[in-house]
Amino acid sequence: MQIAENLVALIHYTLKNEEGQVLDSSEGQEPLPFLCGANNIVAGLEKALLGKTVGDKLDVTVQPEEGYGEIRAELIQKVDRENFQGIDDIQVGMQFMAEAPWGQQPVTVVALEEDGVMLDGNHPLAGQVLIFSVEVTDVREATENEIAHGHVHESDEGDCCNDPNCDSKA
Protein backbone atom coordinates (compact mmCIF):
# COMPACT_ATOMS: atom_id res chain seq x y z
CA MET A 1 0.00 0.00 0.00
CA GLN A 2 1.33 3.43 -0.96
CA ILE A 3 1.14 6.48 1.30
CA ALA A 4 -1.80 8.59 0.16
CA GLU A 5 -4.42 10.95 1.57
CA ASN A 6 -6.56 9.51 4.39
CA LEU A 7 -4.14 6.65 5.05
CA VAL A 8 -2.09 6.29 8.22
CA ALA A 9 1.67 5.97 7.76
CA LEU A 10 4.25 5.19 10.41
CA ILE A 11 7.79 6.43 9.95
CA HIS A 12 11.08 6.37 11.75
CA TYR A 13 12.92 9.63 11.22
CA THR A 14 15.93 11.70 12.14
CA LEU A 15 15.70 15.46 11.70
CA LYS A 16 18.87 17.52 11.28
CA ASN A 17 19.59 21.16 10.55
CA GLU A 18 21.92 22.34 7.77
CA GLU A 19 24.91 22.06 10.11
CA GLY A 20 24.16 18.34 10.62
CA GLN A 21 23.02 18.75 14.23
CA VAL A 22 20.31 16.23 15.18
CA LEU A 23 17.21 18.19 16.23
CA ASP A 24 14.82 15.28 16.76
CA SER A 25 14.65 11.55 16.15
CA SER A 26 12.38 8.58 16.69
CA GLU A 27 15.42 6.35 17.25
CA GLY A 28 14.81 4.05 20.20
CA GLN A 29 11.10 4.94 20.22
CA GLU A 30 7.96 3.85 18.44
CA PRO A 31 7.62 5.08 14.85
CA LEU A 32 5.77 8.37 14.33
CA PRO A 33 2.22 7.82 13.03
CA PHE A 34 0.52 10.47 10.90
CA LEU A 35 -2.70 10.79 8.96
CA CYS A 36 -1.73 11.74 5.44
CA GLY A 37 -3.49 14.87 4.21
CA ALA A 38 -4.37 16.14 7.69
CA ASN A 39 -1.36 18.45 8.20
CA ASN A 40 0.05 16.22 10.97
CA ILE A 41 3.63 16.68 9.66
CA VAL A 42 5.32 19.48 7.72
CA ALA A 43 4.09 19.81 4.15
CA GLY A 44 7.46 19.25 2.48
CA LEU A 45 8.01 15.93 4.24
CA GLU A 46 4.47 14.72 3.61
CA LYS A 47 4.77 15.63 -0.08
CA ALA A 48 8.01 13.61 -0.37
CA LEU A 49 6.38 10.60 1.33
CA LEU A 50 3.39 10.40 -1.02
CA GLY A 51 3.50 7.14 -2.97
CA LYS A 52 6.14 5.56 -0.72
CA THR A 53 5.63 2.05 0.69
CA VAL A 54 6.79 0.01 3.69
CA GLY A 55 10.57 -0.35 3.68
CA ASP A 56 11.24 2.76 1.60
CA LYS A 57 14.06 4.94 2.94
CA LEU A 58 14.68 8.47 1.80
CA ASP A 59 16.44 11.71 2.66
CA VAL A 60 14.31 14.82 2.30
CA THR A 61 15.40 18.48 2.43
CA VAL A 62 12.53 20.76 3.36
CA GLN A 63 12.79 24.51 2.78
CA PRO A 64 11.26 26.86 5.40
CA GLU A 65 8.17 27.64 3.31
CA GLU A 66 7.23 23.92 3.34
CA GLY A 67 8.45 23.39 6.90
CA TYR A 68 7.68 25.68 9.80
CA GLY A 69 7.56 28.82 7.68
CA GLU A 70 9.74 31.87 7.45
CA ILE A 71 10.40 33.94 10.55
CA ARG A 72 7.57 36.46 10.94
CA ALA A 73 8.80 39.69 12.56
CA GLU A 74 5.30 40.55 13.80
CA LEU A 75 5.44 37.48 16.08
CA ILE A 76 8.45 38.94 17.95
CA GLN A 77 7.51 41.63 20.42
CA LYS A 78 8.34 43.21 23.75
CA VAL A 79 5.83 42.89 26.58
CA ASP A 80 5.78 44.46 30.03
CA ARG A 81 7.21 42.40 32.87
CA GLU A 82 3.93 42.92 34.72
CA ASN A 83 2.46 40.31 32.35
CA PHE A 84 4.54 37.74 34.25
CA GLN A 85 3.12 38.28 37.73
CA GLY A 86 3.93 35.39 40.03
CA ILE A 87 7.02 34.42 38.03
CA ASP A 88 10.04 35.76 39.86
CA ASP A 89 12.84 34.37 37.71
CA ILE A 90 12.18 34.81 33.99
CA GLN A 91 14.94 33.25 31.88
CA VAL A 92 15.77 33.30 28.16
CA GLY A 93 14.46 30.10 26.62
CA MET A 94 11.41 29.80 28.89
CA GLN A 95 8.19 29.08 27.06
CA PHE A 96 4.71 30.34 27.88
CA MET A 97 1.25 30.26 26.37
CA ALA A 98 0.03 33.69 25.30
CA GLU A 99 -3.43 34.80 24.26
CA ALA A 100 -3.56 35.75 20.58
CA PRO A 101 -6.49 36.81 18.37
CA TRP A 102 -6.63 33.22 17.01
CA GLY A 103 -6.35 31.52 20.42
CA GLN A 104 -3.49 30.25 22.56
CA GLN A 105 -0.04 30.85 21.07
CA PRO A 106 3.19 29.33 22.43
CA VAL A 107 5.90 31.96 22.87
CA THR A 108 9.57 31.76 23.84
CA VAL A 109 11.49 34.32 25.88
CA VAL A 110 14.35 35.46 23.60
CA ALA A 111 15.71 38.43 25.54
CA LEU A 112 15.33 40.22 28.85
CA GLU A 113 15.41 44.01 28.83
CA GLU A 114 15.04 46.62 31.56
CA ASP A 115 11.67 47.74 30.27
CA GLY A 116 10.25 44.39 29.20
CA VAL A 117 10.58 40.83 27.97
CA MET A 118 11.12 39.99 24.29
CA LEU A 119 8.90 37.10 23.19
CA ASP A 120 9.00 35.14 19.96
CA GLY A 121 5.82 33.44 18.77
CA ASN A 122 7.48 31.82 15.77
CA HIS A 123 7.96 28.05 15.82
CA PRO A 124 11.49 27.32 17.08
CA LEU A 125 12.33 25.80 13.68
CA ALA A 126 10.87 28.66 11.61
CA GLY A 127 13.27 29.93 8.97
CA GLN A 128 15.37 26.76 9.04
CA VAL A 129 16.08 24.23 6.32
CA LEU A 130 15.09 20.81 7.69
CA ILE A 131 16.85 17.62 6.63
CA PHE A 132 14.96 14.39 7.31
CA SER A 133 16.18 10.81 7.00
CA VAL A 134 13.06 8.67 6.95
CA GLU A 135 12.07 5.00 6.81
CA VAL A 136 8.46 3.97 6.20
CA THR A 137 7.57 1.19 8.65
CA ASP A 138 3.82 0.76 8.05
CA VAL A 139 0.95 2.05 5.95
CA ARG A 140 -2.68 1.24 6.78
CA GLU A 141 -6.22 2.38 6.18
CA ALA A 142 -7.35 5.15 8.53
CA THR A 143 -10.46 4.58 10.60
CA GLU A 144 -13.53 6.77 10.13
CA ASN A 145 -12.81 8.31 13.55
CA GLU A 146 -9.24 9.19 12.59
CA ILE A 147 -10.37 10.83 9.36
CA ALA A 148 -13.16 12.72 11.15
CA HIS A 149 -10.78 13.99 13.86
CA GLY A 150 -7.79 14.64 11.60
CA HIS A 151 -5.20 12.57 13.47
CA VAL A 152 -4.19 9.03 14.37
CA HIS A 153 -5.89 7.42 17.37
CA GLU A 154 -4.31 4.83 19.65
CA SER A 155 -7.45 2.74 19.20
CA ASP A 156 -10.88 3.19 17.71
CA GLU A 157 -12.53 2.46 21.03
CA GLY A 158 -13.10 4.74 24.01
CA ASP A 159 -11.00 7.83 24.44
CA CYS A 160 -9.02 9.24 21.58
CA CYS A 161 -5.24 9.40 21.59
CA ASN A 162 -4.86 11.30 24.87
CA ASP A 163 -5.09 14.55 22.92
CA PRO A 164 -6.97 16.92 25.26
CA ASN A 165 -8.29 18.82 22.23
CA CYS A 166 -9.97 15.77 20.71
CA ASP A 167 -13.50 14.99 21.84
CA SER A 168 -13.48 11.46 20.38
CA LYS A 169 -15.64 8.94 22.15
CA ALA A 170 -16.41 5.74 20.32
Per-residue pLDDT band for 34 (boundaries 50, 70, 90) equals: very high
Per-residue pLDDT band for 169 (boundaries 50, 70, 90) equals: very low
Same domain, 29 and 62: yes
83 falls within a domain = yes
Q: Mean pLDDT across the stretch 86-90?
A: 89
pTM above 0.85, yes or no: no
In this structure, is the dihedral angle defined by the CA atoms of residues 89, 92, 94 and 95, taken in order, positive or negative? positive
Whose CA is closest to 119, among 136, 140, 94?
94
112 falls within a domain = yes
For residue 98, the domain's CATH number is 2.40.10.330
Q: What is the DSSP string of 41-108?
A: S-HHHHHHHTT--TT-EEEEEE-GGGTT----GGGEEEE-GGGGTT-----TT-EEEEEETTEEEEEE
pLDDT higher than 50, residue 158: no
41 falls within a domain = yes
Same domain, 89 and 57: no
For residue 31, the domain's CATH number is 3.10.50.40
133 falls within a domain = yes
54 falls within a domain = yes
Element (H, E) at 144: helix 144-149
93 falls within a domain = yes
Same domain, 83 and 45: no
By three-state DSSP, how is residue 147 classified? helix
- The number of distinct structural domains making up the chain is 2
Same domain, 14 and 62: yes
Q: What is the per-residue pLDDT across 96-140, written as a single tens digit (0 to 9) for each?
A: 998 877 788 899 999 999 889 999 999 999 999 999 999 999 999
Domain that holds residue 28: 7-68+126-149
Per-residue pLDDT band for 84 (boundaries 50, 70, 90) equals: confident
Q: What is the per-residue pLDDT across 6-30, written as a single tens digit (0 to 9) for each?
A: 999 999 999 999 999 999 999 999 9
Same domain, 14 and 52: yes
pLDDT at 155: 61
